[in-house]
Amino acid sequence: MLIIPLVAVFVAPLLKPREASHLTALAFLLPFFSILYCIFGGCPREILLMRFSPPIGDIYLNLDFIAHAFGLTICLVSAMVALFALPYMEHRFEEMELDKNVEFRRYIFIYNLYAASMLWLVYSGNLALLYVFMELMLISAFLLIYKYGYGNRRWVGLLYLVWCAIAGVLTLAGFVIMAFNNNTLALNAIMAGGKGVGMVAWAFIFGGMIIELPVVGPHIWLPWAHAEAPTPVSALLSPLTVGLAGYVLLRIALIDYSFIEAYRMPILGYAIFSSLYGGFSVFKQTDFKRLLAYSTVSQMGYMLVALTLGPFGLLGVVIQYMSHAFGKSILFSSAGGIIAVHHGLRDINKMGGLHDSIPAISNAAVVGFLNLGGILTVGMLGEFFILRGVVDTFGIKTSSLGVILGVVFMFILSVWYGFYTLRKVFYGKPKSTERLEISRYLYVPLYVIGIISVLLLFPPLSTVLIHGLDMIPGLGLGVGGVVP
């Protein structure tokens, strides 16, 4: 099933745009349902692909519940965004005065390579294979921005590429140090060997992934890349790609948590500050896509906070990734729908009352912000585990009050800027009361993502997934021990 998206990379460009979009969606929905089967029915934990001599080690697929949670998210979002992109990219090609049939073939080839790289990254059981797919993911995202972005797209594409290249070099340095310390890059062998990661390797990997995540400081590339990328790319780049830096940090933390324990308070303080900075920056933005980019900075602060909070927090990293991916893919697609039907409209000062003209997109955006705010969606579970991690790590006492209040205010701020944005964009006095006819591709995929994000809050999906995560050494507290 994991091979199917790789096959689609080469088959989809041979088809017409509509058929290519449908094939792409199918190529990711088939693994989506097979992952669900693995979650409920069970699958082999590992599948060996090939063996290399030290310091590379075994190349294998790691089919644990962490990979399944991330893979499930990547498959669903990639499939739905592929459908959304059909009318949107046709609109973009018309703007750029390009032949839509020719350009769509190029676009769908790079898109499939981008999405398939993310999926294979999370199932890679060897850090060498993981790094290969990480670089493929970064290069394909760069090409999509460079070729089809907005504004000074070539400069923005190069900005993205340079920052991500720095992140990649730092991460690779950490992996190389790990390889020679442990004589392997296979995750199972490193965990069994007992030598751990080492503080120097941890520092390189942490530095690289902080740039890729990113949090405040290294975040300067993110508002440009998210705002100027073609919207289907923004809908993958923000929710999926940047969050995979959290996935890498999680994998390393499960091998050796000593770096996080040693620097817990500086990292936690930095993460809370970054989240609050990103959240308050939302209120200053007038470009809808740039506004959502700063929301990503805030949400990535959630993941870094969760990383510092022990087993409960590590569970929160997984659930928060899913919640952010669902919510932000819906919101960037909503922004893209507005761009497509309102002739490039992005300035929120010129919006207001859009619910009257495009209620289907408006309602989808509400579900997107509910995910970010942790209201009646899987995001509620993510916030539960983060708060439980705070209590488990620091206890409920006067000395921990600052941390508790900081995390709680982080959550409140997401709800605050979410409803602020909804009011500015979709409600208030409408500029026009005319109901616009829009393609179903611009909103039906968004509702599919939204429905799944709600279903994951309730049994059986939530209980089976959390129960499976809880059995992973280092992530849970014993079978069923953290199920709320």
How does pLDDT run across 222-258, given as a tens digit for each residue? 999 999 999 999 999 987 888 999 999 999 999 999 9
pLDDT at 480: 39
The one-letter code for the residue type at 190 is I
**Averaged over 183-206, what is the pLDDT?**
92
Does the pLDDT at position 482 exceed 70?
no
**Averaged over 79-108, what is the pLDDT?**
94
How would DSSP label each residue in 283-345?
TT--BHHHHHHHHHHHHHHHHHHHHTSHHHHHHHHHHHHHHHHHHHHHHHHHHHHHHHHTTS-
Residues 6+ apart with CB under 8 A from 20: 12, 13, 104, 105, 108
Does the pLDDT at position 93 exceed 50?
yes
Neighbour count for residue 435 (Cβ, 10 Å): 10
Does the pLDDT at position 479 exceed 80?
no
Q: Give burial (CB, 10 Å; 0-12/13-18/19+) of 121.
A: buried
User: Mean pLDDT for the chain?
Assistant: 93
Q: How far apart are CA 94 and CA 238, in angstroms?
A: 25
* Tokens (6 digits) for 370: 């509910």
Summarize pLDDT for 136-191 with one digit per residue, the tens: 999 999 999 999 999 899 999 999 999 999 999 999 999 999 999 999 999 999 99
Summarize pLDDT for 373-418 with one digit per residue, the tens: 999 999 999 999 999 999 999 998 888 899 999 999 999 999 999 9
pLDDT at 120: 97
Asked if 81 contacts 111 with a C-beta cutoff of 8 angstroms, the reply is no
Summarize pLDDT for 97-149 with one digit per residue, the tens: 999 889 999 999 999 999 999 999 999 999 999 999 999 999 999 999 999 99
Summarize pLDDT for 286-337 with one digit per residue, the tens: 999 999 999 999 999 999 999 999 999 999 999 999 999 999 999 999 999 9
Residues 6+ apart with CB under 8 A from 38: 63, 68
The one-letter code for the residue type at 378 is V
pLDDT classification of 433: cutoffs 50, 70, 90: low
